[in-house]
Structure 1
Amino acid sequence: METAEKPNHIGRKIGRIRELRGMKQETLAEELGISQQAISKIEQSEKIEEEKLEKIAKVLGVTKEGIENFSDEAIFNIIGNTVTNHDNSSLLCFQPNFNPIEKLVQVYEENKKLYERLLKVEQEKIAYLEKLMKEK
């Protein structure tokens, strides 16, 4: 049984790397000084000129060879081999980049100010209603 070799579709690899980098076609196009439609055509192309591939690789922050040798399987293997903790206990070790006590105090102060404003509005409403009652 022969195994069919996957074609080396450079355009798809560029698209996949761009997506993994969180970059939109418009952003890549802007960086290269071309239109978004041109990026779409590039991502549909099986082969790309060396010079253009070098420019795209530079914008994506990878090497030309990195694009040529890219495969989703390799990415999944790397992730699978580097993630060793499968019990999600790392979720219990959450380290916020702010002081939770300070945030709590800040929220408390904001709530206090809101309550005081609400109380003031209610007092004004009562005073207005009392004034209306005296006029009658």
Structure 2
Amino acid sequence: MQLLKRMFIFEIMSTATKTSHIGRKISRIRELRGMKQEALAAELGISQQSVSSLEQSEHIEDEKLERVAKVLGVSKEAIENFSEENLIYNIQNNYEGSNKGASSVSVSNLNCTFNPLDRLVQAYEEKEKLYERLLKAEKEKVAYLEKLLDKK
């Protein structure tokens, strides 16, 4: 088991992000947050292809990096200083048989960046609007068909 764990850590470390490639760091953080490129693009108001090219960029201007960091729910510095090694270290120290107690566990960001109830209400409202548009289209279709029948 210990050998398997070491092999896994070695694999992650061998594919770790380069320290200077900010786009790869953004990509990795986005993946760890469970966010797809499309979702990040929607939040930033850009296309998915723009997010893809952003994640391939080695350097990104500060203003754009700030916007990305805000959407990802981290600080600009967290993106700049991100490393797989630190992530592995934190996971090992906080979750693998650590008997230090809950007070020593470092939690970086457990706050939601949105209110789930607001998103639920928003989804419900969008569903209602979609239903109303569908109903309107059906009424127009029925009216058109009745008009065609009246002409015959």
TM range (shorter): 0.5 to 0.7
* Alpha-carbon distance between aligned partners in 2 of 1:47 and 1:38, rounded to the nearest angstrom: 14
Deviation at 1:31, TM superposition (A): 0.2
* Alpha-carbon distance between aligned partners in 2 of 1:34 and 1:49, rounded to the nearest angstrom: 16
Residue aligning to 2:114: none
Deviation at 1:14, TM superposition (A): 0.1
If you compute each CA radius of gyration, which structure gives the higher value, 1 or 2? Answer: 1
On the 8 A contact 2:19/2:83 being kept in 1, the answer is: no
> Gaps spanning 5+ residues in structure 1: where?
1-5, 87-136
Residue aligning to 1:60: 72
* Alpha-carbon distance between aligned partners in 2 of 1:82 and 1:15, rounded to the nearest angstrom: 24
Query: Tell me, what secondary structure is at the counterpart of 2:34?
Result: coil
Q: 1:41 aligns with which of 32, 45, 53?
A: 53
Deviation at 1:82, TM superposition (A): 1.1
Deviation at 1:37, TM superposition (A): 0.2
* Alpha-carbon distance between aligned partners in 1 of 2:19 and 2:81, rounded to the nearest angstrom: 12
* Alpha-carbon distance between aligned partners in 1 of 2:19 and 2:85, rounded to the nearest angstrom: 15
1:1-136 matched pairs, under 5 angstroms: 6-85=18-97
Q: What's the TM-score, normalizing by structure 2?
A: 0.51
Aligned length, in residue pairs: 81
> Gaps spanning 5+ residues in structure 2: where?
1-17, 99-152
Q: What's the TM-score, normalizing by structure 1?
A: 0.57
Alignment-mate amino acid for residue 75 of structure 2: T
Deviation at 1:17, TM superposition (A): 0.1
